[in-house]
Amino acid sequence: MNIILLLFVILLSGFEAEALSYDYSANVECLAHPQKPQYNGGIIKNPELNDGLQGWTTFGDAIIEHRKSLGNKFVVTHSRNQPHDSVSQKIYLRKGLHYSLSAWIQVSEETVPVTAVVKTTKGFKFGGAIFAEPNCWSMLKGGLIADTTGVAELYFESNNTSVEIWVDNVSLQPFTEKQWRSHQELSIEKDRKRKVVVRAVNEQGHPLPNASISLTMKRPGFPFGSAINKNILNNNAYQDWFASRFTVTTFENEMKWYTNEYAQGKDNYFDADAMLGFAEKQGIAVRGHNIFWDDPQYQPNWVSSLSPDQLNDAVEKRVNSIVSRYKGQLIGWDVVNENLHFSFFESKLGQNFSARMFNEVHNIDGQTTLFMNEYNTIEDSRDGLSTPPTYIEKIKEIQSVNSQLPLGIGLESHFPNSPPNLPYMRASLDTLRATGLPIWITELDVASQPNQALYFEQVLREAHSHPGIQGIVMWTAWSPQGCYRICLTDNNFKNLPAGDVVDQLINEWGRAEKSGTTDQNGYFEASLFHGDYEIEINHPIKKKSNFTHHIKVLSKDEFKKTKQFIQLSI
């Protein structure tokens, strides 16, 4: 007797959340009218300023006024003498709660940064920032975790004291840790998984109950990996450990200019070629890191003495050398690394250097995604140089040279030695996602601290669950002398706590086998992560035989149809 397997891959219609759903929306355009406050304002009183200044007070020595324009009511703060002179509202925070913050901001003249700040009994907490413009409204989105319970004050500040700050449609919504985790799970179900329905029937089309079904992921659809260095080339244990886990990598130093041309005119791609060969043999995708690094201390030694004309010649040689060599072999290029924090090349070759390089790389390798790669964009705002609005402004500058560039957003994600601010991280990703560009986490790690592995897990979960993230690379390359900040294994390739976190998440994200039996109507259902699977079916009537087949579970973007039908038989 033949068993026929009917396989349907069905788009899930939606999920019901027990808690208040998280609003992943953000807006990066400056609008004539502000949008409604998220969560109807949350705990903010009079969020739309429809009831005059009720709930709003002066912060510092500013003067605040209630105004109306084009049918919209808002609050204005003027006569400011200090950056913090502003408008504020007293709020009550509860320790440990995650707060999602949003507001619509306008200023009276020129484009200036405006920051949301929460003053608590323990000090001042950064909430988020935006480049506010005159004559239109910009959305500020941020967040924080309360570290104390009690009364606090939310206010908005700008270092430019000559501008009026206009505020409207403010929201501050609290979530418990349990609710925050539920948002992650719901987002994963919606954006990382598909519902698979398997039906077993006999030759006559009658259902076969109690058929055993097992589904084993052979390759995940979501790219997840770690950086490597040349230590992997002659270490079989490292190679086996790495290749059994990851589908994407980045080279730590082997594609950087100071490695490839350590002496002027002497190219060295030996290690990079060998590492690329290893990755290709194992089916591991590679991100190109990096063509240029704007930090002065990471230039080849011979570069600093060059005149501007000589430097320009060297730059052109570098671009053509490395991009032509690896054309079509990489999934992305970090074109100019950290060019929000540093400006070595701009200072010598002009402010259009980055835009020019992106365009030149695209002209050589036209199919590869080109990334800006930066830190402190989603980690926190400790230096203020690379906030999401600043990042987006740089993206626009690059696009001004060529609007057709296949740009990507690269977020290093080097988290500090403090608990990660997950609401700020999520809000920052929301804002960056609104650009419509692909977002990758490119160098994720967490500084050494007692809770390092716990915080490492938290940021990995947050990144993986966010609908805007298209891949994650950790900055965890192994070295016998120790890793950069966090090691996954010891020198015998036995897992350390961070390695256990990675293996646990890999298992959760699809590697765990799904199995069960068909019901009375011959059906078996499972919610599966995107990826390649081996499906095995057997039935009591065929005790000594089984049947295996490979299937792909595709994302809704890859597979537009509601159902995917495959007929199999044993």
The closest of 54, 50, 26 to 128, measured between CA atoms, is 26
Q: Region 408-432: what's the mean pLDDT?
A: 97
Domains in the chain, start-ordered, CATH in brackets? 38-175 (2.60.120.260), 194-217+512-569 (2.60.40.1120), 222-486 (3.20.20.80)
Instruction: Give ∠ CA 315-316-318 in degrees, rounded to 5.
Output: 65
Q: 3-class DSSP state for residue 313?
A: helix
pLDDT band at 94 (very low <50, low <70, confident <90, very high): very high
Number of H helices, E strands in the chain: 11, 27
pLDDT tens-digit series, residues 34-93: 999 999 999 999 999 999 999 999 999 999 999 999 899 999 999 999 999 999 999 999
With tokens 């509202």, the residue in question is 89
In angstroms, the CA 195 to CA 554 distance is: 10
What are the backbone angles phi and psi of residue 346, rounded to the nearest 5°? -60, -40
Mode of pairing for the β-strands spanning 193-202 and 98-107: unpaired
Average confidence score pLDDT of the chain? 93
pLDDT tens-digit series, residues 240-253: 999 999 999 999 99
In angstroms, the CA 570 to CA 549 distance is: 11
Give residue 15's pLDDT: 37
Model confidence at 562: pLDDT above 90: no
Task: Please tell me the least confidently modeled range out of 174-183, 184-193, 194-203.
Answer: 194-203
What are the backbone angles phi and psi of residue 157, rounded to the nearest 5°? -130, 160
Give residue 548's pLDDT: 81
In angstroms, the CA 486 to CA 112 distance is: 38
The closest of 54, 130, 122 to 89, measured between CA atoms, is 54
Model confidence at 131: pLDDT above 50: yes
Could you say which of 48, 412, 443, 457 is catalytic? 443
Give residue 424's pLDDT: 98
Active site residue 133: no
Q: Region 393-421: what's the mean pLDDT?
A: 96
Rg of the chain in Å (alpha carbons): 27
Give residue 10's pLDDT: 40
Token pair recorded at residue 206: 């009658």
Give residue 203's pLDDT: 78
Q: What's CA 371's distance to the chain center, in Å? A: 13
